[in-house]
Chain A
């Protein structure tokens, strides 16, 4: 599995390509966590459009990232999941806590809007 990263504002977009199983999960986990920290990103978009295979290890990876991002008061979005990947993730009830967007662009736009709204709210509170 290959992971590539993009950053926009304080959002990290992690695009996974290939098979996400127990073997590749460790490297994926580490790669995302280290990159989030290094570039001081608050929010994370997991782009799974090119994930060709996933088993329950993928559930662990998504859940683990969600907890980390939430601890930093950030938001995590999933994007581009195939029906099959959605089926597996929904077995663990992940879509009750994480939102899925069809594309990375959709997720990015919504996140930016949410950030802007939060900034305005904070400003008004002050």
Chain B
């Protein structure tokens, strides 16, 4: 049985914590391990931060849509969508240490972290229209069954 949630929030930094907590709360019934939970929260944090920082240039306006689909097999799909400026070169953006932000303080590691902690990361983007990041993680729900 597929279980789904969808939230939308203003693209401001104070909502990054909220986004992490909302996904963590939603998948709690699947009894994830502490490690799985942390990895999912980190992936969400990276995707949402990217929308806020790069999609909307931290202008405080704009909305991030966050959808999460979970099933009893433990498959968790997370979709983070913004209607920001879009990514010019997705392959370049996914390179470790590449950033279009202020180099002194941006590490350019957002996608690397996402890809490290998630089983699958897909990026769809259109210049001027926005970006959609789809992440998938398969939790280990086999124990205690």
Contacts and interface: CB of A to CB of B under 8 A. Distances in A.
A60 B105 contact: yes
B107 A56 contact: yes
A92 B97 contact: yes
B16 to A, nearest CB: 5
**Could you tell me the dominant secondary structure of chain A's interface residues?**
helix
A23 B46 contact: no
Nearest to B53: A22
A63 B105 CA distance: 8
Contacts of A49: none
A55 interface: yes
**Could you tell me the dominant secondary structure of chain B's interface residues?**
helix
A69 to B, nearest CB: 14
Contacts of B105: 25, 29, 60-61, 64
Interface residues of B, number: 25
A92 B14 contact: no
Contact of A60 (B41, B96, B106): B106
Contacts of B16: 21-23
B17 A63 contact: no
A56 B38 contact: no
Interface in A68-112: 84, 88, 91-92
A122 B52 CA distance: 49
B45 interface: yes
Contacts of B63: none
Interface of A: 19, 21-23, 25, 29, 53-57, 59-61, 63-64, 67, 84, 88, 91-92
